[in-house]
Structure 1
Amino acid sequence: MNTRSMIFTLYGDYISHYGNKIWIGSLIRFLHEFGHNDQSVRAAISRMNKQGWVQAEKIGNKSYYSLSDRGVRRIEEASQRIFKLKPEKWDGKWRIFMYSIPEEIRNIRDELRKELVWSGFGTMSNSCWVSANINDSQVQDLIEKYDIAPYVDFFVAEYKGPHEDHNIVEKSWNLDEINQKYQEFIGEYSQKYVIDRNKIQKGHMTDAECFVERTKLVHEYRKFLFVDPGLPEELLPEKWLGGHAAALFSEYYKELAEPALRFFESVFQEANELNQKDEAYDVMDHPYMIE
C-alpha cells in the first residue's frame, strides 16, 4: 500500500476528527502497523507538504503536520462520498467541461484529467468531459488552481437527443468494468467481515488489529472514488452493485470502529502527553522564555 495514500486515509478517517494536526512521530508509529518505515513516511509527508496538501509546523524541536485548506476540502469531499449509501437525486442536467490546453503546459493537462475523474467526469469525446453530478464549485476550484481560464469552457445543459441520457453514460464510462470491481470487493470483504465479526465477538482480535483492518477497509473502498463517477440512480444499470458494496462497507466499518478508535486514541494521547512533558522541560531549561 502506497505510503502517501495511506497517510491520506489516516487523515480522513482519524486525524481530521482530532484537531487535524499530528506529530510526525505519531504518524510514523501508526504507519509502522502497515509495514512502512520512518524514511518512507517522512518522504511521503514531505511530498504532500510540497504539493500543498498539508502544512508543517515546528513546536520546540518537533514537527507537526496538519491538512491545508485544500487538503481539508479534498478530505471532506471524499468523506461525503465514502459514507454515502445512496446516490443523490439527479437534477436532470449535465455538466460539460471542454479544454484546449497548450502543449507547453501538458503537465497541467495530465493533472487536470486526474482531477476531473476524481470529480465524477467521464470522456464523451476528446477534450470533452461530462458529469451528472452537481460539482460546479469543484470545477471552479480546478480552473483557479491550475490558472487555466483562457483554455477552458464549462456548461450546464440538458440533453435533447436524439438518444436517451443513458447513451451519454455508455459513451463516457465503462460501467461493466466498474461493476466488476465492486463484485471483487464484495467477494473479498463479505468473507473478511464474517470472520472478523466472529473474532471481535469472541475477544480474539486486538484493538491494534481492528485499527489495521478498519484502515485497510477504508483504504480499499476509497479507491472507488477514482473509478466510480457517482452517477444518480436514474442513470445506473439495473444490476448495479455499488449499493451492495456501500452497505457491506458500512456494516464492516461499524464492527471495527470502536476498538480501532481505542487504539488510535491510545497512541495519539500518549504522544500528546509525552510532547507536553518535553515542552515543560524546554521551558525549565530556558527560563528566559517565560514572560
Structure 2
Amino acid sequence: MQKTFNTRSMIFTLYGDYISQYGDAIWIGSLIRLLEEFGHNEQSVRAAASRMSKQGWIESLKQGNKSYYYLTERGKSRMNEAANRIYQVESPSWDGNWRILVYSIPEKKRHLRDELRRELTWSGFGLLSNSCWITPNPLENEINNLIEKYQISPYVNYFTATHMGTSDNRELVRKCWDLQDINNQYSQFIEKYSQQYIIDRNEVENGNMSDGSCFVERTLLVHEFRKFLFIDPGLPKELLPEKWLGESASSLFRDYYRLLEKPATRFFESVFEAPKKNYNL
C-alpha cells in the first residue's frame, strides 16, 4: 500500500498529467480505481471531487447512471500554467523589468486577501512589503485573470518598472524569496530520485516492472515535483545564484518521466473511461 497523499492534491496531479490529455473528463469510477493505487478509498475520492467542484475546478456530467467530472475553464487554465512550468526546459531570460502589484482591499472584502496571497505566491510573485508584490516575469495574463476572478479591479494597481535602488537586483530577490531553502529542497529531490531512477531503469529495461508500478511511480514523481510550483518562483537565470540546482532537478525529472511514460500510460488507458458521446462544456 502506498503512502496516502492528500486526495484532492492527487486528483489535481492526475488531471494535470493524464486526464487533461484525454479530453479533460473522466468517469468517477475510473478516478476511484486509479486512486486506489495510492491508498485512497471511494468515499475520500467522491468527497474530494465534490469539494473541487464547489471550488470551481471541475464540474460533473451525468450520462445514464454514470457520473463524469471534467475541468472547467478555470481548471484548464491552471493545468496549462502548471504544465508550462513543470516541463520548462530551462529558466526564462529576463527583459530587465519588474512587475509590481499593489492592492488595498477594503475590510468588508478581507476574505479575499488570503486567497489572493496564495494565488500570487503560486504564480511566482514575491512579497516586497505589505500588499506590494513583485515578479521579474511577464505575468500580465495571470494578473488580469485574478482581477477578473475576484472582481477587485478598483483595488489593484499594476506597474512595470526598473529597479533603481542602492542595492542590486539580486539583493531585491533575497528580500522576497529564500532561494537557499529552495535550493536545499532541490538537492533533497535529486538525492532521493537519482538513486531511485537507476533502480527503476534497470527494472524497466529487464522487464521486471509492471505497468501499474510504472503508473504509481510516475504519478508520485510528478506529484513530488509539482510541489516546487508552490515554492519556486521560476526566476530568470540572470537572477539565480551560480550553484542553482533547479535545472539539474528538472533534467532528472524529465529523464525519469520518459523512462516510465509508456508503461504508465498503458495502465492509465486500461482504467480510464471518458463520456461515451460528445458533450457541451
- What interval of TM-score do these two structures reach, taking the shorter chain for normalisation? over 0.9
2:63 is aligned, of 59, 64, 71, to 59
Matched, 1:175 2:179: yes
Deviation at 1:107, TM superposition (A): 1.9
In the alignment, what sits opposite 1:161?
165
- State the secondary structure of the residue aligned to 1:221: helix
Greater shift in the superposed pair: 118-127 or 156-165: 156-165
Unaligned runs of 5+ in 1: 280-291
Could you tell me how far apart the structure 1 residues matched to 2:266 and 2:94 are?
Answer: 39
In the alignment, what sits opposite 2:45?
41
Matched, 1:246 2:265: no
Greater shift in the superposed pair: 195-204 or 227-236: 195-204
Deviation at 1:106, TM superposition (A): 2.1
Q: Report the residue type matching 1:236 in the other structure.
A: L
Matched, 1:139 2:143: yes
2:80 is aligned, of 76, 79, 91, to 76
In the alignment, what sits opposite 1:5?
9
Deviation at 1:102, TM superposition (A): 2.2
Q: TM-score, normalised by structure 2?
A: 0.95
Q: Report the residue type matching 1:253 in the other structure.
A: Y
What RMSD, in angstroms, separates the aligned Cα atoms of the two structures?
Answer: 1.2
**Aligned pair count?**
273
Unaligned runs of 5+ in 2: none
Could you tell me how far apart the structure 2 residues matched to 1:161 and 1:107 are?
Answer: 34
Greater shift in the superposed pair: 151-160 or 253-262: 151-160
1:85 is aligned, of 85, 89, 102, to 89
Deviations 1:209-249 (A, max 9, x none): 00000000000000000000000000000010001100000
In the alignment, what sits opposite 2:240?
236
Percent identity over the alignment is: 60
- State the secondary structure of the residue aligned to 1:259: helix
In the alignment, what sits opposite 1:286?
none
Query: Which portions of structure 1, spanning 4 or more consecutive aligned residues, are displaced by more than 6 angstroms?
Result: none
- State the secondary structure of the residue aligned to 1:130: strand
2:197 is aligned, of 193, 212, 218, to 193
Determine which structure has more spread, i.e. the larger CA radius of gyration: 1
Deviation at 1:171, TM superposition (A): 0.7
Q: Report the residue type matching 1:96 in the other structure.
A: I
Q: Following superposition of structure 1 onto structure 2, how do residues 215-230 of structure 1 map, counting pairs within 5 Å? A: 215-230=219-234
Using CA pairs below 8 Å that are at least 6 residues apart, which structure has the higher relative contact order?
2
Deviation at 1:161, TM superposition (A): 2.5
Deviations 1:94-141 (A, max 9, x none): 110111222332221001000001111001111111001110010011
Q: TM-score, normalised by structure 1?
A: 0.91
Q: Report the residue type matching 1:92 in the other structure.
A: G
